[in-house]
């Protein structure tokens, strides 16, 4: 989902220029209590749709809640170490990724989540492995709010939140004893497993259905005025990224810098790596039902609410929009909203889960894809069945170039990404272990190929032109690999 082809340098320049223009001033933003809010929404934030909690079945809310709490209890939410402007930083929110078997999802340059079909918590709904790629937004430094802390702190943090929630009885309609039942059921009992998987799948299906009867919702007081959903759906979401954060356990949240909207759980960003105009649907669940925020003075701008911030990308003149969310509310970013605008998540006072659904662009992100790429490269390698010795079947510079590109792709986009943090998820899901071993074997054969190419160009007996081309191609591939390996070593 590239909004523009700006290079990092250009973005930096643009950002600096805007910040200079802005000086010390904050840009204005509007919330629901402010006059002109709806007009601003209609004129500058079309594509944003709010779907109130009451438009989804009550059972779905309570099932989703059980699923979230069980996942948290099992430690499935992990903070991702992402790459932001050449720095590695931990996301403030903890995440888990669900999706099709063998599919991966990229954001901000790292494999983050890693589950798969058949595992206890996710059968029926599949988990996957996430790659991260450099963000392309102008605010990529805060594109995901993050802080450089040791990953181990996450464990104590999760433990803290768990006990905190129990103490405060912050579990919404469910009492603590019932969470126990959920987690016990989910272990040995297949029926219990299904109970945990279904809600996430069901959420995805409910949110993918665009045919919301506005009239019906209006009567129930559910609809947001002037924000009809177009009947374009249902859409087939292929990625579910779950987020979790307890603000009480997070002491170093950044302040939203441009508008003064408050503390950010997720900084300004565009969602990356989606098919063009993929809608993004987000279900928001906060652990205490925001009663405090609703009734207190200041209402929606009350800091106890979780809120979404939206802004027009590269624009310091259009006011920002701040949308408070009550537990069970969902919102959609439709049409080109995600590419023309940025969004952030503003932390409320209680712990909150969100289930985000998207259509990821995954043509180069599946296991089947990388396996077939490896086969392409290895088709130029012959192994003698008798001796096991290897030889090259094609000796052209273009073949060499092609093989070395695949070699780099499997090493840097898959193996290193996996070993960097994708592997953390093996304790919940071993699905990727075997395929990764196979990819590593393929990679090893490609190392053999590189050595054979090297022997070839070092062979003084070989004729001039071709040998020179081969040497140049090889040198450039090896230099590139060397640099990339150095970057990974530094990480
Ligand atoms: O939690 C939310 O409401 C949205 C989170 C988000 O922007 C993301 O995961 O990309
Ligand atoms: Fe997002």
Residue pLDDT, tens place only, 186-209: 333 334 445 555 667 777 777 776
The stretch 154-159 carries a mean pLDDT of 27
Q: Following CA atoms 131, 134, 136, 140 in sequence, which dihedral angle do they give, to the nearest 10 degrees? A: 110
Length, in residues, of the chain? 491
Please, what's the b/e burial string for 326-361 (b: 16 or more CB within 10 A of its CB; e: otherwise)?
bbbbbbbbbeebbbbbbbbbbbbbbbbbbbbbbbbb
Ligand 1 lined by 266 (C-beta under 6 Å): yes
Q: What is the mean pLDDT of the chain?
A: 75
pLDDT(93) > 80: yes
pLDDT in tens, 73-90: 988 888 877 777 777 788
Give the whole-angstrom CA distance, residue 120 versus residue 118: 6
The stretch 345-352 carries a mean pLDDT of 96
Give the whole-angstrom CA distance, residue 287 versus residue 283: 13
Distance 91 CA to ligand 1 centre (A): 12
pTM for this entry: 0.77
128 vs 485, residue with greater confidence: 485
Q: Which of 114-118, 272-276, 364-368, 483-487 has the lowest mean pLDDT?
A: 114-118
CB atoms within 10 A of CB 427: 10
Ligand in nearest proximity to the CA of 266? 1
DSSP per-residue codes, 388-450 = --EEES---HHHHHHHHHHHHIIIIIIIHHHHHTGGGGGGT--TTHHHHHHHHHHHHHHHHHH
ipTM of the complex: 0.99
Ligand in nearest proximity to the CA of 265? 1
pLDDT(272) > 90: no
Give the whole-angstrom CA distance, residue 436 versus residue 116: 13
Question: For 318, which DSSP code?
Answer: S
Ligand 1 lined by 282 (C-beta under 6 Å): yes
Distance 142 CA to ligand 2 centre (A): 12
Q: Using the structure block, give the residue that is written with the tokens 């999706």.
A: 99
Query: Cβ(143)–Cβ(268) under 8 Å?
Result: yes
The pLDDT of residue 289: 52
Ligand 1 lined by 78 (C-beta under 6 Å): no
pLDDT(159) > 70: no
- The structure tokens listed for 434 are 């075997």
Q: 371 to each of 102, 242, 410, 458, 489, how far by Cα in Å?
A: 11, 28, 9, 31, 25
To the nearest 10 degrees (0 to 180), the angle between helices 464-490 and 397-408 is 10
Tally the C-alpha atoms within 13 A of residue 72's C-alpha that lie toward its C-beta: 32
Distance 150 CA to ligand 1 centre (A): 23
The stretch 387-400 carries a mean pLDDT of 92
Cα-Cα-Cα-Cα dihedral sign, residues 25, 31, 33, 34: positive
pLDDT in tens, 22-55: 888 999 999 999 999 999 999 999 999 999 999 9
CB atoms within 10 A of CB 322: 25
Give the whole-angstrom CA distance, residue 50 versus residue 278: 17
- The structure tokens listed for 355 are 């289930």
404 vs 223, residue with greater confidence: 404
Ligand in nearest proximity to the CA of 347? 1
pLDDT in tens, 448-475: 999 999 998 888 777 667 888 999 999 9
3 state DSSP class of 332? strand
The pLDDT of residue 295: 43
pLDDT(262) > 70: yes
Which among 265, 343, 347, 350 is the best mutation to test ligand 1's pocket, defined by most ligand atoms within 8 Å of the CB? 343
The stretch 132-152 carries a mean pLDDT of 35
Ligand 1 lined by 96 (C-beta under 6 Å): no
Question: For 171, which DSSP code?
Answer: S
Q: Which atom of ligand 1 is nearest to the CA of 243?
A: 1
Query: Cβ(367)–Cβ(102) under 8 Å?
Result: yes
490 vs 334, residue with greater confidence: 334
Distance 107 CA to ligand 2 centre (A): 10
């Amino acid at each position: 989902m590239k909004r523009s082809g700006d290079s990092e340098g250009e973005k930096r320049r643009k950002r600096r220029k805007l910040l200079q223009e802005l000086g010390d001033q904050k840009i204005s933003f509007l919330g629901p209590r402010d006059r002109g809010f709806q007009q601003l929404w209609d004129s500058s934030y079309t594509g944003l749709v709010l779907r109130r909690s009451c438009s989804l079945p009550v059972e779905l809310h309570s099932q989703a809640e059980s699923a979230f709490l069980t996942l948290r209890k099992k430690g499935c939410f992990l903070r991702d170490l992402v790459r932001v402007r050449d720095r590695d930083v931990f996301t403030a929110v903890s995440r888990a990724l669900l999706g099709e078997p063998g599919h991966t999802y990229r954001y901000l340059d790292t494999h983050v989540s890693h589950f798969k079909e058949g595992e206890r918590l996710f059968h029926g709904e599949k988990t996957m492995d996430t790659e991260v790629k450099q963000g392309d937004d102008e605010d990529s430094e805060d594109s995901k709010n993050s802080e450089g802390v040791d990953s181990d702190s996450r464990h104590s943090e999760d433990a803290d939140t768990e006990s905190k929630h129990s103490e405060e009885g912050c579990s919404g309609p469910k009492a603590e004893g019932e969470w126990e039942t959920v987690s016990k059921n989910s272990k040995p009992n297949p029926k219990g497993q299904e109970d945990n998987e279904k809600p996430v799948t069901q959420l995805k299906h409910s949110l993918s259905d665009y045919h919301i009867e506005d009239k019906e919702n209006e009567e129930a007081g559910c609809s947001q005025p002037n924000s009809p959903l177009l009947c374009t759906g249902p859409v087939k979401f292929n990625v579910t990224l779950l987020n979790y954060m307890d603000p009480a356990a997070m002491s170093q949240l950044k302040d939203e810098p441009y508008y003064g909207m408050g503390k950010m759980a997720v900084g300004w960003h565009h969602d990356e790596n989606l098919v063009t105009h993929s809608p993004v649907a987000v279900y928001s669940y906060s652990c205490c039902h925001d009663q405090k925020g609703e009734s207190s003075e200041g209402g929606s701008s009350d800091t106890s609410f979780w809120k979404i911030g939206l802004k027009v990308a590269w624009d310091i003149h259009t006011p920002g929009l701040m949308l408070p969310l009550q537990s069970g509310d969902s919102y959609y970013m439709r049409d080109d909203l995600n590419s023309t605008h940025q969004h952030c998540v503003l932390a409320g006072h209680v712990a909150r889960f969100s289930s985000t659904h998207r259509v990821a662009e995954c043509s180069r992100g599946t296991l089947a894809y990388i396996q077939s790429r490896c086969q392409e490269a290895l088709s130029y390698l012959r192994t003698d069945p008798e001796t096991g010795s290897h030889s090259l079947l094609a000796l052209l510079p273009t073949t060499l170039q092609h093989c070395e590109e695949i070699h780099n792709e499997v090493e840097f986009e898959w193996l290193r990404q996996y070993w960097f943090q994708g592997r953390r998820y093996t304790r919940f899901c071993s699905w990727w272990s075997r395929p990764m071993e196979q990819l590593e074997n393929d990679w090893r054969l490609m190392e053999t190929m590189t050595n054979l190419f090297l022997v070839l160009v070092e062979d003084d007996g070989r004729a001039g032109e071709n040998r020179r081309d081969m040497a140049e191609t090889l040198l450039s591939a090896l230099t590139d690999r060397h640099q990339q390996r150095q970057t990974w070593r530094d990480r």
